[in-house]
Chain A
Amino acid sequence: MHAVVDRAQLSPNVTRLVIEAPRIAEIRQPGQFVIVHRAPGAERIPLTIADADPQRGTITLVIQAVGKSTEDLVALQVGDAIADVAGPLGRATELLDHGRAVCVGGGVGTAVVHPIALGLAARGVEVISVIGGRSKEWVIFEDELRRAGEVITCTDDGSYGRHGFVTDALRDVIEARGVDAVYAVGPVPMMRAVAELTRPYGVPTFASLNAIMLDGTGMCGGCRVAVGGKTVYACVDGPEFDAHQVDFRELADRLGTYRDFEARALEIAHRRDAAAEAGATQAAGGRCLIPGLASTAEAQEAVEAAGKRA
């Protein structure tokens, strides 16, 4: 069991949990994640290790409530416990060791990019973090990222920092100062827009892919994504990949597996008995799969908007 030792609400739907996991705290590296199984009967879900304190034996998880499993997790209070935490999983980020890097974070991705920013800074790389949210209250981890270097904050509605998308700020940095690498973590449309933006500049760009996972060890193949025309497993080959090679359309599409299932299940439902129908409907959930965005329509808009700007 892994006790929750600290808890804070960071934005309307993002919560930080600090949990006991001494072994993972001791050895984890930037870019790695854990698979969390809250209790018997719960789902196994992947969450990035946003921070770790080896002395206290704790790791920090920053969780955006998008569905049943994440909602159940953020409902935990100090003193509650999580049954299973497996990790650290995935490859550590390939960190640059000199020059200038931009870390782009959107929504909960801001927390995910945080250990990468700190890792880069520790190696003497100049780090500029470009982070965004819908409005002021959705911006998270700004202070934490300042420990790594300069932070440029953007909001879609202009209520805080720069008015506009992170891609606008990123373009300005690339054009004005030159950049050696970009690390992007956030909603799929954001990562895709970043990749399209940096491609013509030839700036090496890495995206952390949030594929649907089950085991996190390569045994199910559920997290497969196409990178450079080859099928790879996000859990063991990633989660970070060369963003210029990633098939983001397929990723976004596969993330919709269980969302669209609700509609499909209804369509098929009349052929099945009531019990089975109940299972399928519950399984679907019907939420937007993309962290940081509340609905599919919003995701679609973001893609189009980002596309127009890029």
Chain B
Amino acid sequence: MTDQPIPDSPSEESGASQGDPAFTPAFDHPLLPKERMTIDRTHMPEQDALLRAANFREVNLGYSQQLAMLEAERCLQCRNPVCIEGCPVRVNIPLFIERLRVGDMDGAAASLLDDNALPCVTGRVCPQEIQCEGRCVRAKKGASVAIGSLERFVADWAMAHPDRSKPDAPATSGRSVAIVGSGPAGLTAAGELVKQGHDVTVFEAFHAAGGVLIYGIPEFRLPKDIVQQEVDRLVASGVKIETNAIIGRTYTLRELRDRFDAVFLAVGAGLPVFMNVPGENLKGVYSANEYLTRVNLMGAWNPESDTPVLRGHRVVVVGGGNVAMDSVRTAKRLGADEAIIVYRRGMAELPARVEEVHHAEQEGIRFELLVAPLEVLGDENRWVTGIRCIRMELGEPDASGRRRPTPIAGSEFVIDCEMVVVAIGTRSNPLLTASEPDLALNKEGYIVTDEHGMSSLPGVFAGGDIVRGAATVILAMGDGKRAAAAVDAWLRGEYPPRVEAEPAAPSPMPAARAAAH
């Protein structure tokens, strides 16, 4: 069963775009675990690397129904599903996979959406290899179950069949909650709180909701209409969204506390960090935030857009995380002949998702690893002409256990380029946090909370990147979910919430499975 044929145009055959074909199991009899072990991991169909490096369409095309049903057969339905322990929001992975396997799409979608408010998003952007898939027992012998791809398949199906997974409208509680920031943390909390019948208003500084999902992560990785549909789904369920509302400017936090019964701060870690080297204010140097916002939120990838973005023939991106990969692949798509990553550690240390690094390599991105920038060089008109760098070697492990890069004397060299994009991290933005002296912050400026997510101000909760520092979508969502539970308890006058035991990883005994036997 090694070389499963991949359908010619998988996107057209994917479950999401079809009407409602009968989902029939891949095999007409239940397989034994031994038999399941013989099925190799199916490959996610993707756009050809050469083609996609010149367009902004999504790279991954999604499973066809056939591939999804086959991949679902690979799950062993472990009695002790360690995959769930790897998931920050504890999605009941074997349960939704089993429902998918037997063709119960409604059931699969219902269970997934119950655990995860934005599965179309996480199925595309979670670092599965260090979460669920990293734990999956099948990884010990061969490849893990492609949990992320299956999640995406089920989530896209649910998105295409909204009427089939609509929850009942709850009774109104008469309590109101303000949520500041419409990234994954804010949207998740909004969804949870509106389910409890609270009156929820999300305040967003930009003119569009979605946070990093809309202005940061590019179209080719996370199509914007998917984020928009998630937002629309929340609005349809009763969440109010006030865009162009900058808390700390348009309204103060104090005003929100007066107007609402509780507040959840989910403003992300939006401040760009620059390298602090000479030449950084030359024309042609962007922060990744500016570069990606121009291209994604403002649509500068499209020549019809009013917002300009520089295009370089050689573009250097400094950094090694997801943000750097997104920037460098964007530069390639905007026509760069050479798009180059400059990162001060090695390949093994790149913090980006493995799949992104892999895709970047396929697209012809050049990696200058163990290299640190020293200076941005410019011409007499102050346009970037290059970046002077130094080679590094990995020395002794530092406090964090990572081997510390140290410069190799005399190894300086110049990479010629017309543009430099700085993607070396972000910090907390003091715009809101500094406006309220009583809001306790740690020394990096992130909001300090108790174990339930409440800040030093009673009734004001916080989560996502503004508490953790730049982290991940799923951790932000987890915070949103936990904070929503705490806010709900607060509104009912039962704060602190009874500490829920770590949601026990439920054993997969789906009704669907029983029915199938």
Residues of A bordering B, CB below 8 Å: 23-24, 27, 37, 41-44, 68-69, 72, 83-89, 214-222, 224, 226, 231, 236, 250, 253-254, 256-258, 260-261, 264-265, 268, 271-273, 275-276, 278-280, 282-285
Contacts and interface: CB of A to CB of B under 8 A. Distances in A.
Contacts of A37: 207
A272 B271 CA distance: 33
A83 B306 CA distance: 15
A77 to B, nearest CB: 20
- Across the A-B interface, the 8 shortest Cβ-Cβ residue pairs: A279-B303, A283-B308, A220-B290, A86-B244, A219-B270, A84-B207, A221-B287, A43-B306
Interface string B359-390: 00000000000000000000001110000000
Contacts of A264: 383, 418
B335 interface: yes
Given A260-B283, A261-B308, A44 B207 contact: yes
A217 B205 contact: yes
Contacts of B243: 84
Contact of B246 (A68, A86, A250, A271): A86
Interface stretch (B309-317, B468-476, B502-510): B309-317
Q: On chain B, which size bracket covers the interface?
A: 35 or more
Interface of B: 54, 205-207, 243-246, 249-251, 270-272, 274, 280-281, 283, 286-287, 289-290, 293-294, 298-300, 302-313, 334-335, 337, 381-383, 418, 429-431
A276 B335 contact: yes
Contacts of A85: 244
Contacts, number: 135
Contacts of A254: 281, 283
Contact of A260 (B54, B309, B381): B381
B206 A226 contact: no
Given A86-B246, A217-B429, A282 B303 contact: yes
B250 A87 contact: yes
B441 to A, nearest CB: 16
Contacts of B335: 271-273, 276
Nearest to A282: B303
A221 B274 contact: yes
B290 A214 contact: yes
Nearest to A224: B281
Nearest to A34: B244
Given A41-B305, A43-B307, A218-B431, A88 B281 contact: no
A253 B284 CA distance: 12
Given A86-B207, A222-B287, 19 more contacts: A44-B207, A72-B306, A86-B246, A217-B429, A218-B431, A219-B271, A219-B293, A220-B293, A221-B290, A236-B431, A253-B381, A254-B283, A258-B308, A268-B311, A268-B312, A279-B305, A282-B304, A283-B307, A284-B308
A172 B381 CA distance: 36
A172 to B, nearest CB: 36
Contact of B306 (A42, A265, A268, A284): A42
B246 A217 contact: yes
A253 B271 contact: no
A79 B289 CA distance: 36
A218 B207 CA distance: 16
Nearest to B284: A257
Given A23-B250, A231-B274, A271-B337, A215 B205 contact: yes
A44 B300 CA distance: 12
A222 B54 CA distance: 26
15 contacts: A41-B304, A44-B307, A86-B205, A86-B206, A86-B207, A87-B249, A87-B250, A214-B290, A219-B289, A220-B287, A221-B290, A254-B281, A265-B311, A280-B303, A283-B307
B207 A43 contact: no
Nearest to A274: B303
B309 A283 contact: yes
Contact of A88 (B207, B250, B311, B383): B250
Contacts of A260: 283, 381, 383
